[in-house]
Amino acid sequence: MISLAKGLSLFAVFLLLLIGLSYAQQKKSPLHTIVEDVFDEADPFNGVVLIASNGRVHAVEAFGKRDYETGSPLKTTDVFELASVSKQFTAMVIMQLQSQGKLDYDDPVEKYLFIPYKNITIRHLLNHTSGLPDYQAIMDAHWDKTRVADNNDIIQYLNKYAPPALFPPGDRYEYSNTGYVLLASIAEKAGNADFTQMLREWVFKKYRMMDSDLRTPSEKKQLKNLAYGHIKQAGTQSYVKADSFPSSNYTIWLGHREGPGRISSTAYDLLKWDRALYDPRFFTPEMKREAFKPAVLNNHSLSQYGFGWELGVDEVLGKYAQHSGDNPGYKTEIVRYIDADKTIILLCNNAHDRFEKLLDALKKYVMGL
């Protein structure tokens, strides 16, 4: 039989544990609370969230696993595949070449490349109004997936199979990965240099984005801090690496393409990139006007896409530029509230279907900062 003193002592210990648990719950970070509200424990979010205000990190946190096979936890410094967030970097190389007088936005594509589509300009490629067909569909249908394709292969197949254009250039906006493949190849012709080297010299090295690069699949695997992309197995809550399915994973057999994707980076490096876009010595007022100017279509209406950025105006925070990325196993997003100087960087390596809900919740949170 427990004595009264011992019973009181045990009760005191139990009370202290409850107080400690309550205190721990109260100390959860805002990001942790947001993620917890959006995701189920049985199918959690894998990724890194970074919120910045006026260039300073307001909050940053990593959730989940870098690799499901090893169980290693994600860190805020881990490298993610950016997918189409890469397009803004391709656009920057083109803008740098324009500022050097090596090309003009209204140059016709045929000045630099032979393709079976006419009257398309560099500007059309930048703002997705070219009407070009989808190169991935052509390659998926005809390419030998035991080989790894590059831009020259893609352009060769565009000429070989020449599927019809979707619409006359400038008639409407339609997102085009093909256009950004051509932009990288145009950059090499106009700049007389390797596209990857231009990216490294003009952006990554200049702003000390030491974890950022345009890497091949084999180069990414050599990274010790790579957040592997994972895909949920049908009908289960378990995940496998996206590269488990080489024949259906275009990032492998299109692993040498340049322009529309393939850059890998960290949340911290993307914040450095965000700051570079406030530096008038790098991103001149003229570049800024062009990059964040909606495209004017042939019927004089506007398309809310600039040079590698989706554009809009928030009622609270003013003008913003953002872009998403989506590769097998990855979902990514960068949102820059330009007037308010607030930034959301969201990197996910289990391509979760609640990614957009999390992004919406983060946008609401940023409005309150």
Take residue 355 and report the two structure tokens written for it.
């990614």
Active site residue 22: no
User: Which residue of the set 9, 53, 72, 84 is catalytic?
Assistant: 84
Query: How many beta carbons lie within 10 A of that of residue 112, not counting itself?
Result: 18
Q: Are 180 and 87 in contact (CB under 8 A)?
A: yes
Query: How many beta carbons lie within 10 A of that of residue 78, not counting itself?
Result: 23
3-state secondary structure of 225: coil
CA-based max dimension of the chain:
94
- Strand order of the sheet with strand 80-81? 80-81, 263-265, 213-214
Backbone angles phi, psi at 79, to 5 degrees: -95, 130
Q: What is the DSSP string of 228-295?
A: --EEEPTTSS-EEEGGG-GGG-HHHHTTB--SSS-EEE-HHHHHHHHHHTT-TTTS-HHHHHHHTSPE
At which residue do the structure tokens 């289960």 appear?
236
Name the residues annotated as catalytic: 84
